[in-house]
A and B are shown apart, each in its own frame.
Chain A
Amino acid sequence: MSTLHVVNPGLLTTLQDHGRRGYEDRGVPPSGALDELSFAIANALVGNPSGTGALEFTLLGGQFRVGQGGCVIAVTGDMQVFIDDRPVAPYQCHVLQSDALLKVGRALSGARGYLAVAGGFAVEPVLGSVSTLLRGALGGFAGRALVKGDVLPLAAPSQYLPVAARAPGQRLWPQREHQPLRVVLGPQQAYFSPLEIGRFLSESFQVSGQSDRMGYRLTGPGIAHLKGFNIVSDAISTGSVQIPGSGHPIIAMHDRQTTGGYPKIATVIRADLARLGQCKPGDWLGFSEVSVEDAEDLWCERQVLVNAYLDELSIRYGRRRR
């Protein structure tokens, strides 16, 4: 069993998978990769089952020394990648020998990058998931972000040897999409006048520095409430746009609280969550309204496209047995 030694952990690097599902009624948020698309592609590139835990980088990658036995890796997101100081391409798998130095630089666009290792990390799941929940210190490596000196145990890779794969088309780069985030209004749009809802849908907002895996705080024009800003707490979904007393929207992300007491003016649709996950402080956002039916069509179309790409990758692995 090989290892990855953390030489430099980057800004905020955590282990994430496709989330801790089915415990929201017990107050446990889903967590998981903020850009689930780039995360899924990273796993597919090294021949892992979808949903295997991978490292999520935030704005900056990190440096890792490969332990005895070597490993096979892939990095996704718009990240610079170096192996022993030699630049290599993201969106490809690479075979690393023992003692190699893997360096992942900064994100050239977007905020997140993913490092998948063939076989995954040897970490015990907590409530069915290896995702790290920092607030609550659950999952991942000791429930926290990586620190210098960590030794990450790797699980044995599958019997299939990965091959170099074609990089995906731009349609599968969430951070390259620039149209407004699509939302369905509600469920508490009655707390806002039509005029304020109109402003919400037409103004631009900036992602503030007080944004993390729990939520993004937006600056820009405030949205006024019609009838107070406290509601009796109810459930929050990923993508829920809450308007607190200040009038400045907060978009709930994967590590959000499961319940909260601010009215929600709108909710970002699933097809745009990966793109939302790639937003960083300073980015400008706008919102446009779609119907539930359109949101569902967009998600289903997206899944067809993604699954076709992921299937194509796994077929290639299947043909190249070790």
Chain B
Amino acid sequence: MNSEEQESSVRIAPIADHALYIDFGEVIDAAVNQRVTALAKRVATAHIEGVTGLIPTYRALTVAYDCTRIRQARLRARIEQLVAEPDAGADRVRSWQVPVAYGGEHGIDLHWLCDLHQLDPHDLIRLHSAVTYRVYMIGFMPGFAYLGGLDERLHTSRRESARLKVPAGSVSIGGMQTAVASVEAPSGWHLIGRTPARSFVPSREQPFLFGAGDEIRFCAIGADEFDDLWAQPDYLPQWTWRT
């Protein structure tokens, strides 16, 4: 995609006097999401006076601002410049190894999914844990990570009715995505496992584990190992920088 095409596909719109909305397209797609997080990084690095928050999502960046410090017209001009700049080359990203106890009490929908997709449980677990996922965005609940890259053989439309309570750490499948739940919450997604990694602990020095643009790989663990790790409140999964 050349730079002209890139620019023409970007739509900048006001969210009243709260924020500017920079939309890259109505899709769930790694390339579009990459443009969102790359722009978020450029805006953050630019330290624009009056910008109060950056919220990257699947396909758009929302730039919140304080109009007593910068007017939207000026902010917009600045953002347009930053949009026109080329995305930096391969950024280094945080790459997480997240253990998951699949099936059993931790993944009560695993067998249902196996029946639906005519897969052996081991094959389903293998398909789910063989992929490197991209954190497309954090939303819904504090620290809840939406991941892209799910194998097509596992795409599954959501449940007809949502469960009222799904435990923290649940790993689930909804549509073409998979997710890691951070806190107990309602969910209409299919539960396949649970991680003992606590992705949101407000009192921890690093309250959140995952951020938009991070990578996640799952590794299967047994129920006993889950219990061991869950019993350690300080347990953090491993991560490395990947460039």
Contacts and interface: CB of A to CB of B under 8 A. Distances in A.
Contacts of A186: 13-15, 21
4 nearest CB pairs, A to B? A259-B139, A267-B16, A235-B62, A184-B16
B55 A269 contact: no
Given A25-B212, A234-B23, A267 B15 contact: yes
Interface string B42-59: 000000000011111111
B210 to A, nearest CB: 9
B16 A138 contact: no
B208 interface: yes
A292 B142 contact: no
Given A27-B139, A184-B15, 17 more contacts: A22-B53, A24-B53, A25-B212, A26-B208, A127-B207, A136-B183, A186-B15, A186-B21, A187-B15, A235-B55, A237-B62, A257-B140, A259-B139, A266-B16, A292-B14, A293-B73, A303-B68
Interface string B5-44: 0000000011111110101001110000000000010000
Nearest to A240: B15
17 contacts: A127-B202, A138-B142, A186-B14, A187-B14, A234-B23, A235-B55, A235-B57, A235-B62, A237-B15, A237-B19, A238-B18, A240-B15, A258-B140, A267-B18, A270-B17, A295-B17, A299-B67
Interface string B195-207: 0000010110001
B80 to A, nearest CB: 15
A258 B139 contact: yes
A187 B21 contact: yes
B18 A292 contact: no
A237 B60 CA distance: 13
Interface string B116-144: 00000000000000000000011111111
A46 interface: no
A15 interface: no
Interface of A: 21-28, 126-127, 135-136, 138, 183-184, 186-187, 231-235, 237-240, 257-260, 264, 266-270, 292-293, 295-296, 299-300, 303
Contact of A234 (B58, B71, B143, B212): B58
A292 B15 CA distance: 9
B142 A23 contact: yes
What range describes how many residues of B lie at the interface?
35 or more
A293 B40 CA distance: 25
Given A27-B138, A27-B139, A270 B59 contact: no
Nearest to A143: B202
Given A25-B55, A258-B55, A239 B202 contact: no
B182 interface: yes
B62 A268 contact: no
A22 B207 CA distance: 13
A257 B144 CA distance: 11
- Interface of A, secondary structure class, is mixed
Interface of B: 13-19, 21, 23, 26-28, 40, 52-60, 62, 64, 67-68, 71-73, 137-144, 146, 182-183, 200, 202-203, 207-208, 211-212
Given A231-B26, A232-B26, A257-B140, A300 B18 contact: no
Contact of A300 (B28, B67, B72): B67
Contacts of A292: 14, 16-17, 72-73
Given A26-B208, A138-B202, A270 B16 contact: yes
A17 to B, nearest CB: 15
A187 B23 contact: yes
A86 to B, nearest CB: 41
Nearest to A24: B55
Contact of A126 (B140, B141, B202, B212): B202
B140 A259 contact: yes
Contacts of B60: 234-235
Contacts of A260: 139
Contacts of B54: 25
Contacts of B59: 232, 234
B48 to A, nearest CB: 15
